[in-house]
A and B are shown apart, each in its own frame.
Chain A
Amino acid sequence: MHIRLSVLATRGLVALALALFAGLTLAADAGHIKTVKGSALVERDGKQIPASAGMTILESDTLVTGADGSMGVTMTDNCLLSVGPNSTLAIDKYAFDSTTHAGNFDASLQKGTLAVISGKMVKQSHDAMRVRTPTTVMAVRGTEFVVRVD
């Protein structure tokens, strides 16, 4: 019993420390969800949050849609992204400086369909954005394109 309590106490302290740390390094907004249809959710810190229009997207979020789902996101550099049904897209890395337009953006499409209209950071630097799939890496040099992983 004592052991359990101390384990719980330790876990509590660790959780508290993590929460404080998370608060200190609070991620800046990466984007906002603008369109949602059907079943669509955002995975964040192991939790699943139902997607809704207006919701903030952060670095490390994963967008997941079901058979009838789709969702569209506008990133802070004006990049537009959308996923179709049965899709999983992870926002692996995202940073954007709105003054210099420098930034970097790594996303990975694990399955499904993705449409991209690249934004300001790609105009600033051609190496800023990459989209990964299970078999390839795509360097995005300022363009509109679609990807499908079956």
Chain B
Amino acid sequence: MGLILIGLYAAAVLFFTPVSQTVVVLPGPDGKVGTVVVQRDGEQTVLNTAYSTSHIDAQGVEDRSQMSAAAVTQAFGTALSALPARPVSFNLYFISGRDELTEESKLELSKAMAELKRRSVPDIVVIGHTDTVGKLEGNDKLSLARAERVRSALIKQGLPAERISAAGRGEREPLVRTADNVSEPRNRRVEVNVR
């Protein structure tokens, strides 16, 4: 009986130890601030200004304030510095009917490499597209050839092959909507999405 009581007590301590929590909304890189709604027992607190803070102590009392950037770094620095690099994506453009990059896009790709190589384990999805010149099936093949071409270029530059996937979407997802059989440079592209 005593043991059971001790067990119950231990369980109670384990599950009902009062906890306190702090939530702080941070400004994004462009200064924009989003919204977090903290909800409990039917009550809610809306945090939507830079550094607005909700602190709920172990007794359940909530205090609203504004934390300083320095205090945020103090309390959350390790977690913040562990955040992965922000995903990036860019388009590369192609010469009509071919899987050859335009001169500008060759330059763009070499510029992007530095940013891509900063990531220790990048996950890269390369998606090829065409304009509406030619037949659907031919464009499916061409879009994939373009994506594969960019994938090979990335691998040649030293990015890990097993972390780069390539797909072709043919003429289905134009950047600029056109009639059929329209040569449109902006639609002859490969999207490179890097996480």
Residues in A lying within 8 Å of B, measured CB to CB:
32-35, 37, 53-54, 70-74, 78, 80-85, 87, 111, 113-115, 117-118, 133-150
A-chain residues with CB within 8 Å of residue B77 when the two chains form the complex: 84
A-chain residues with CB within 8 Å of residue B106 when the two chains form the complex: none
Interface residues of B in 147-167 (CB under 8 A from A): 163
A-chain residues with CB within 8 Å of residue B19 when the two chains form the complex: 111, 133-135, 149-150
Is B175's beta carbon under 8 Å from chain A? Answer: no
Query: Which label, helix, strand, loop or mixed, suits the secondary structure of the A interface?
Result: strand
Query: Which label, helix, strand, loop or mixed, suits the secondary structure of the B interface?
Result: mixed
Bound-state Cα–Cα, A144 to B40, Å:
21
Bound-state Cα–Cα, A75 to B35, Å:
20
For the complex, count residues of B whose C-beta is within 8 A of A: 41
A-chain residues with CB within 8 Å of residue B92 when the two chains form the complex: none
Bound-state Cα–Cα, A78 to B34, Å:
16
By beta carbon, the residue of chain A nearest B78 is A84
A-chain residues with CB within 8 Å of residue B36 when the two chains form the complex: 138-141, 143, 145
Interface pair A138/B26, CB less than 8 Å apart: no
Known contacts being A70-B78, A145-B24, is A137 close to B40, with CB within 8 Å? yes
Interface pair A135/B56, CB less than 8 Å apart: yes
The smallest C-beta distance from B8 to any residue of chain A, in angstroms, reads 20
Is B100's beta carbon under 8 Å from chain A? Answer: no
A-contact 0/1 string along B113-136, CB 8 Å cutoff = 000000111010000000000000
Interface pair B26/A145, CB less than 8 Å apart: yes
Interface pair B34/A148, CB less than 8 Å apart: no
Interface pair B23/A146, CB less than 8 Å apart: yes
Find A143's partner among B25, B80, B85, B120 (CB 8 Å cutoff). B25
A-contact 0/1 string along B71-97, CB 8 Å cutoff = 010011111111111110000000000
Interface pair A143/B34, CB less than 8 Å apart: yes
Interface pair B38/A146, CB less than 8 Å apart: no
Interface residues of B in 39-89 (CB under 8 A from A): 39-40, 47, 56, 60, 72, 75-87
Is B10's beta carbon under 8 Å from chain A? Answer: no
Is B33's beta carbon under 8 Å from chain A? Answer: yes
Is B110's beta carbon under 8 Å from chain A? Answer: no
A-chain residues with CB within 8 Å of residue B75 when the two chains form the complex: 113, 146, 148
